[in-house]
Structure 1
Amino acid sequence: MKPSLRSVLENGTPLYQQNSKITQFGKLGRVEEARKLFNQMNQRNTVTFNSMISVYAKNRRINDALNLFDKMPHRNLVSWNTMIAGCLHNHRVDKARHLFDQMPQRDIFTWTLMITCYTRNGELEKARNLLNLMPDKMNPACWNAMISGYVTDKRIKEAKQVFDEMPVRDLVSWNSMLGGYTRTGEMSLGLKFFEEMPVKDVVSWNLMVDGFVEVGDLDSAWEFFKRIPNPNVVSWVTILSGLGRNGRIMEARRLFDQMPIKNTVSWNAMMAAYVQNSRIDEALNLFNEMPEKNAVSWTTMINGSVRIGKLEEANHLLNQMPYKNVGAQTAMISGYAQNKKIHKAREIFDHVSIRDTVCWNTMIAGYAQNGMMDEAVDLFHQMVRKDIVSWNIMIAGYAQVAQMDKALALFKETKHKNIVTWNSLISGFTHNGLYPDAFKYFISMIQNGNKPDESTYASILSSCANLATLQLGTQVHVLVVKTGYEQDIFVTNSLITLYAKCGKMPSAERVFSHTPRVDVVSWNSLINGYALNGNGIEAVRLLEDMKVAGVSPDEVTFVGVLSACSHAGLIDQGFRLFESMGQKHLIQPLTEHYACMVDLLARAGRLEAAFQMVKEMNIDCNAGIWGALLDACRVGKDLKMAKFAAEKLLEIEPEKGSSYVTLSNMNAEMEWWEVVEEVRGSLNERRVVKQPGCSWIEVQNRVHVFVYGDGYWLENMIFRGHLRALMAHISNTDDTLLDTL
């Protein structure tokens, strides 16, 4: 539109050009310059106000946008929609709904915006209610937003229900529904749906290729790729990335070289494939060959250098980067944090001009992973907009430093919990030995409608194993089978440990033999089980079977085998295995291995040899070694050596008095009461508090805890009612399954 003469004379610059300038300032993040121009304008129209509101909203200044909206002399439909869109961008859903309800009129864009507000905030029921209230249901845009919301939340059945109800569908509707199937790995349903589509475009084909790539079916992905009528760059990049992620790097490079048109995205995909396969030199060569680099190119290369520990090279690339990018800076922060250079990570963080949520979370996670929870919580409180990842990082961080009270407080404060939130808490309880609490929140998780995953089951089975609660563990096993996680390697390893610690080695063997893919942890779990149950011969046999199967033993393997030899009195066998560690397997003995050997010698009555081994060790003794020697002295009734071992043990663990209690008991057995009093006096002088004894027993799905000195026993609340919540989930399972375990 030609500017009016009046606007040109009064402002020197046409009004529409000034409005455009405000919008440009906003896109560049130059909010103050946009505001200054707005304030200097002698004439403003509705477009001027709409432009300035959009600038504020898009740059996270939603309160300024709302204030300006309230001052507008005249509002049109675009003004209302712009303000609602701003609230959507700033996650102010309640305010958006308030504006929506006040609007004098609405168009289809308004309804779509409001429904999208709800779906992006996870409030799908409110979105669906709004869809039902919509007067004109013939436009597919709102329906598509609803489908997209359900798909994002992985509620595919409900998405399909909305799709089936649509009075009019467009290609976006079909592709949105197809994306729901492919993104959740439902490729058989996705394939059937794809074949039923009346019209397909390149997006439809790309969704199928990407779906097959995600489930690891590269052959089907390749077949679909070859059938695409007119593949675009996304088609090529999708199959190329799939090949790279699955280690088929040569095929990926051949495909890259065959691409008819290569844009920056293509180069980045090939470079990322090299990085994912730790071929950083080839990635760097490609990076240097690139005709044009963007922020992703630099970030990928920095990530690659960080991945192999080349932090100086990564930092050099960051300094060379012509424009600083928050993604590249975040990669550098992560690299320094992972390598315990947390101060350098903070230096990078402090120089990031505009931090996004990922940047904040990376820095907070860096502090948490390094046990610096005071610094982590300080940043967490400074963070303006936290997401679920932020809360999960903090919960896991507190769990890592054994502050479960604070982890639980944050968990209760978190409004939106996901599977990671629950797992962080449950695994935290398990890791810190609070096994009944782990089970309590496992039950609560199920009661709240959350479905456990493989991490949940691995944690809760570990708790059952440490409590030696066979009946509860068996019920969880049935639930594992029913939910389809019995093939997961972490779950099966936890099951093996559970049955082993409960003395059910045939069941442990059965789980092991039915596992399609076992790893070194699986073998170790079984070996440790036989060691724990006093079957040293079987443990040694398993070690030989393990070698025949092509699995190399590690340090943990030999701790288990040596412990088995110790308990079974296999002295010669134990010495041969100890020597073979370094000679055949190139494994340097750790303190745990020496502790096993000390225990082995002591049990055989060779106390002097055990003491000599401790003196000749090339590594510092820990509590395990001195504890093993002290226990051996107790069996051999060597008070002189026991006193020496107890003093060494108390130097390492001054807060624990168990070593002096053992020494006192030994003197009491010899009826040397004066020495007993002397030992007890030493305990009092050192102000060492002996922890009360504690044990538990499982009776009919209840765990009863006994604490010395309480005068009564405590029932743990979580196991009351025969675990009705858990059993409700396995009630339809064949009872014969329980009999086979």
Structure 2
Amino acid sequence: MTSKLKPIADRGSLIYTQNLKLTQLSKSGRIEEAVKVFDSMPSRNTVTYNSMISAYAKNGRITEARRLFDQMPFKNLVSWNTMISGYSHNDSLSEAAKLFETMPKRDQFSWTLMITCYARNRELVAARRLFDQMPVRSSVCYNAMIAGYAKVGMFEDAVRLLHETPCPDLVSWNSVLAGYTQNQEMGLGVKFFEGMPERDVISWNLVVDGFVRVNDLDSAWEFFERIPDRNVVSWVTMLNGYARSGRIVEARRLFDRMPERNVVSWNAMIAGYVQSLEIEEAFKLFTEMPERNSVSWTTMINGYVRVEKLKEARELLNKMPFKNVAAQTAMISGYVQSMRMDEALKIFEETSTRDVVCWNTMISGYAQCRRMDEAMKLFKRMPRKDVVSWNTMIAGYAQEGQMDKAMEIFKHTRERNVVSWNSMVSGFAQNGFYSDALKHFVLMRKEGKKPDWSTYACSLSACANLAALQVGMQLHLLLLRSGHADDLFAGNALITMYSRCGRISTARQVFDEMKNEDIISWNSLIAGYALNGYGKEAISFFREMEIAGLCPDEVTFVGVLSACSHAGLIDEGLDLFDSMTRRYSILPVAEHYACTVDLLGRAGRLEAAYELVKQMPVKHNAGIWGALLGACKIYKNPDLANFAAEKLFELEPHKTSNYVLLSNIHAEAGRWDVVERVRVLMKEKGVQKQPGCSWIEIRNMVCAFFSDDPMQPRNAEVCLVLKAVSGQMRSIGWSYDSSLLDCS
């Protein structure tokens, strides 16, 4: 009899040992090894299945966990609870709820688990409904409900339920206290703490942690010193406070004083050094650690990545005894930041268990490198996408100018947040689709999403480019009501909008009312003065900027030189151009030379402009030759115009306006043979005249009009008005290019 029972006992012992190994592998994140152990087992019991389901769920492989759950030959109550816990762990609340409803039998843990799941996801109405349905409530269930209320700041409900609890324990009281401290309500938290009937070390630690969260380290230290019996969490909480605030010397002093150190305290100190970019000190401490966990390795790898020591980071990753997704993602991020996408992909493919952050890091890298085809391939492969994944793809296509593909992704995004909308608004604005940018601003508000400073800045930029003053003024009012009126970026966008709409005095008023202006604010207003022909005001404002102690940059000089050019301030402009290098040590770039060429050209000094172009040490661009060609038009110099145009045709072979301008110069000189040659050249290069486009605001809507659109409503009436206006212009001596008026 004994000999028959021995194989059964041995088999039971083997299953027990393998089940224990499964649990250990699951805890360390070594899921593939756990799968191999499970597959190799000759026989399995319910515990085996439950351990494997838990391993899958904890490592984000919830689909495989459910498949295994459905295959189980026999399920016990633990199996059902493990699966619900897995769904809860993976934020699959609806699936957890469905499974809970189909359970053949429930215990108190099942009810508490589901209530906790609802509470964690802030579904407190559903949580309370289950709580009220419970046949018998335990203190654990009360505490789950109290913690749920406290977590979302529903303190009155939490306290009311606390007093309704039959026998509230310290966990109940600490749950409310944790709500106050985690929501940074330290005044109410301390008052509640002082009124607690009893306190333990957890209560004290919660208060210290609360003050650390609000960065009041003096108060945190005061409570830390009052703790009657500190534990290692007390020390680590205070240590974290100093380390995260950059007070690394005080953090190290506290670390050295600790009566006992666990791996968390070592990790906190290393993280402090990493945050302060003292990587050598961090590594020194890393080598001294008596034991390391995955966080230790990941923190150190991330430290090397932050200081761009990718070789050292990779060496450390290779030495890591059990690689986890966080460490591998940190390494991928380092390669992504250095645009080394092939090496990033190699690490990505080696990562056995990828989480959503790992996928997003890789997709974002491809998007930043403008490799959207590879980004889309990964995006399609991604098993579980979050809102960041969708937003990354929208922004990537928008950055590439592929707004049709960005729109397609946007339409299929189930959960749109402010970033989703901002990606569309900014994408349209940056790619010249200004009306669409404003349209999406309106749609965003209709969907109930609140625009932030970025939305307003991009929408105001669209108004500036359309010169849509009325819409811009409405946005200004909305901005004032939104609470983002003091935002620097939105303020700068307002200055630009009013400047481009010809309201330079309002732009100056916005500038004067700004609490904290920066160099962009000053540059925006200088550019506004230049655009509106206020050259002297631009120079005066430039002097104010110097008095205010701000050092001008390259953009400042583009603005002020442009202002001098438009206002005909030749001497002032040349003096400013000369002072760039002499006084401010700023080497002129092509844009500065273009402004100066334009300045000389407008003054009729074509030879001087041409000499400057020949002698300039920077590479010529279209702006320089365009300025010279424009001056040739004003002062009728067809020979120099030919030379400038040839250079322009090399740089911009398909830009219509260059050919038209050269043709008009020769037409005015009566050189019709050259005019014909220019037209032939346009045909040879496939250059077509683009229809003119104008915008106008009608009842707060921006309408676009194209010069060659015969289907435009009331087109004939528009042409009649244009002809009448042109007749009046001729009668008072104004000349214009009649070829621009095409109403045939």
Is the TM-score greater than 0.5?
A: yes
Contact preservation (8 Å) 1:25, 1:33: no
Contact preservation (8 Å) 1:423, 1:456: yes
Residue 461 of structure 1 aligns with which residue? 460
User: Residue 110 of structure 1 aligns to which amino acid in structure 2?
Assistant: S
CA shift, 1:19, in A, is 3.9
Residue 98 of structure 1 aligns with which residue? 98
CA shift, 1:377, in A, is 0.8
The 1-side partners of 2:7 and 2:542 are apart by 89
Secondary structure in structure 1 of the residue aligned to 2:385:
coil
The 1-side partners of 2:183 and 2:505 are apart by 37
Residue 731 of structure 1 aligns with which residue? none
Residue 559 of structure 1 aligns with which residue? 558
The CA deviation string for residues 506-562 of structure 1, in whole angstroms up to 9 with x for no partner, is: 333333333332222222222222222222223223333333333322222222222
Compared CA separation, residues 707 and 456, structure 1 to 2 (3 A): same
Secondary structure in structure 1 of the residue aligned to 2:542:
helix
Residue 86 of structure 1 aligns with which residue? 86
Residue 723 of structure 2 aligns with which residue? none
Compared CA separation, residues 512 and 290, structure 1 to 2 (3 A): farther
Residue 706 of structure 1 aligns with which residue? 705
- Mapped pair 1:33 → 2:32: no
Bigger drift between 431-440 and 402-411 goes to 431-440
The 2-side partners of 1:383 and 1:481 are apart by 41
Contact preservation (8 Å) 2:118, 2:127: no
User: Residue 11 of structure 1 aligns to which amino acid in structure 2?
Assistant: R
The 2-side partners of 1:290 and 1:21 are apart by 26
Unaligned runs of 5+ in 2: 715-744
The 2-side partners of 1:140 and 1:508 are apart by 63
Structure with greater contact order relative to length (CA < 8 Å, sep ≥ 6): 1
Bigger drift between 75-84 and 289-298 goes to 289-298
The 1-side partners of 2:172 and 2:430 are apart by 46
Bigger drift between 253-262 and 184-193 goes to 184-193
Compared CA separation, residues 456 and 232, structure 1 to 2 (3 A): farther
Secondary structure in structure 2 of the residue aligned to 1:706:
strand
Contact preservation (8 Å) 1:396, 1:424: yes
Residue 606 of structure 1 aligns with which residue? 605
The CA deviation string for residues 551-587 of structure 1, in whole angstroms up to 9 with x for no partner, is: 3222222222222222222222222322332333332
The 2-side partners of 1:643 and 1:182 are apart by 75
Secondary structure in structure 2 of the residue aligned to 1:584:
helix
Secondary structure in structure 1 of the residue aligned to 2:407:
helix
Contact preservation (8 Å) 2:150, 2:179: yes
Contact preservation (8 Å) 2:244, 2:275: yes
Compared CA separation, residues 561 and 63, structure 1 to 2 (3 A): closer
User: Residue 454 of structure 2 aligns to which amino acid in structure 1?
Assistant: S
The 2-side partners of 1:709 and 1:274 are apart by 65
The 2-side partners of 1:474 and 1:334 are apart by 42
The 2-side partners of 1:259 and 1:5 are apart by 54
Contact preservation (8 Å) 2:453, 2:487: yes
Compared CA separation, residues 190 and 636, structure 1 to 2 (3 A): farther
CA shift, 1:372, in A, is 0.6
CA shift, 1:276, in A, is 2.9
Residue 672 of structure 2 aligns with which residue? 673
CA shift, 1:714, in A, is 8.4
Compared CA separation, residues 437 and 450, structure 1 to 2 (3 A): same
User: Residue 54 of structure 2 aligns to which amino acid in structure 1?
Assistant: S
Secondary structure in structure 2 of the residue aligned to 1:692:
coil
Contact preservation (8 Å) 1:26, 1:34: no
Contact preservation (8 Å) 1:160, 1:177: no
- Mapped pair 1:108 → 2:135: no
The CA deviation string for residues 668-704 of structure 1, in whole angstroms up to 9 with x for no partner, is: 3334333222212211110023332212122332212
User: Residue 486 of structure 2 aligns to which amino acid in structure 1?
Assistant: Q
Contact preservation (8 Å) 2:150, 2:158: no
The CA deviation string for residues 70-90 of structure 1, in whole angstroms up to 9 with x for no partner, is: 454543322221222234445
Secondary structure in structure 2 of the residue aligned to 1:698:
strand
Compared CA separation, residues 9 and 209, structure 1 to 2 (3 A): closer
The 2-side partners of 1:655 and 1:96 are apart by 61
The 2-side partners of 1:439 and 1:459 are apart by 9
Contact preservation (8 Å) 1:571, 1:600: yes
Alignment of 1:244-393 (within 5 A): 244-393=243-392
Compared CA separation, residues 534 and 189, structure 1 to 2 (3 A): farther
Largest Rg, 1 or 2 = 2
Q: State the Cα RMSD in Å.
A: 3.5
Alignment of 1:387-402 (within 5 A): 387-402=386-401
Compared CA separation, residues 609 and 197, structure 1 to 2 (3 A): farther
Contact preservation (8 Å) 2:158, 2:176: no
Alignment of 1:147-186 (within 5 A): 156=153, 164=160, 167-168=164-165
The 1-side partners of 2:350 and 2:529 are apart by 56
The 2-side partners of 1:499 and 1:200 are apart by 60
The 2-side partners of 1:137 and 1:514 are apart by 63
Compared CA separation, residues 599 and 296, structure 1 to 2 (3 A): farther
- Mapped pair 1:479 → 2:482: no
Contact preservation (8 Å) 1:298, 1:321: yes
Bigger drift between 249-258 and 529-538 goes to 249-258
Residue 724 of structure 2 aligns with which residue? none
Bigger drift between 658-667 and 322-331 goes to 322-331
Secondary structure in structure 2 of the residue aligned to 1:705:
strand
The 2-side partners of 1:584 and 1:71 are apart by 79
User: Residue 134 of structure 1 aligns to which amino acid in structure 2?
Assistant: Q
Secondary structure in structure 2 of the residue aligned to 1:645:
helix
Contact preservation (8 Å) 1:187, 1:212: yes
Compared CA separation, residues 551 and 635, structure 1 to 2 (3 A): same
Compared CA separation, residues 163 and 711, structure 1 to 2 (3 A): farther
The 2-side partners of 1:223 and 1:50 are apart by 47
The 2-side partners of 1:396 and 1:51 are apart by 41
Unaligned runs of 5+ in 1: 716-741
The CA deviation string for residues 34-81 of structure 1, in whole angstroms up to 9 with x for no partner, is: 33354x12xx55434433443454455555544544454543322221
Residue 718 of structure 1 aligns with which residue? none
Residue 572 of structure 2 aligns with which residue? 573
Compared CA separation, residues 135 and 654, structure 1 to 2 (3 A): same
User: Residue 635 of structure 1 aligns to which amino acid in structure 2?
Assistant: I
Secondary structure in structure 2 of the residue aligned to 1:13:
helix
CA shift, 1:365, in A, is 0.9
The 2-side partners of 1:77 and 1:328 are apart by 36
Residue 696 of structure 1 aligns with which residue? 695
Secondary structure in structure 2 of the residue aligned to 1:621:
coil
The 2-side partners of 1:10 and 1:244 are apart by 52
Compared CA separation, residues 61 and 211, structure 1 to 2 (3 A): closer
The CA deviation string for residues 183-224 of structure 1, in whole angstroms up to 9 with x for no partner, is: 566666666666666666555555555555555555555555
> Normalising by structure 2, what TM-score?
0.84
The 1-side partners of 2:423 and 2:102 are apart by 42
Secondary structure in structure 2 of the residue aligned to 1:385:
coil
The 1-side partners of 2:556 and 2:136 are apart by 65
> Normalising by structure 1, what TM-score?
0.85
Secondary structure in structure 1 of the residue aligned to 2:104:
coil
Percent of aligned pairs sharing the same letter: 57
The CA deviation string for residues 393-424 of structure 1, in whole angstroms up to 9 with x for no partner, is: 11111111111111111111111222222222
Compared CA separation, residues 138 and 8, structure 1 to 2 (3 A): closer
Contact preservation (8 Å) 1:278, 1:304: yes
The CA deviation string for residues 490-520 of structure 1, in whole angstroms up to 9 with x for no partner, is: 2222222222222333333333333332222
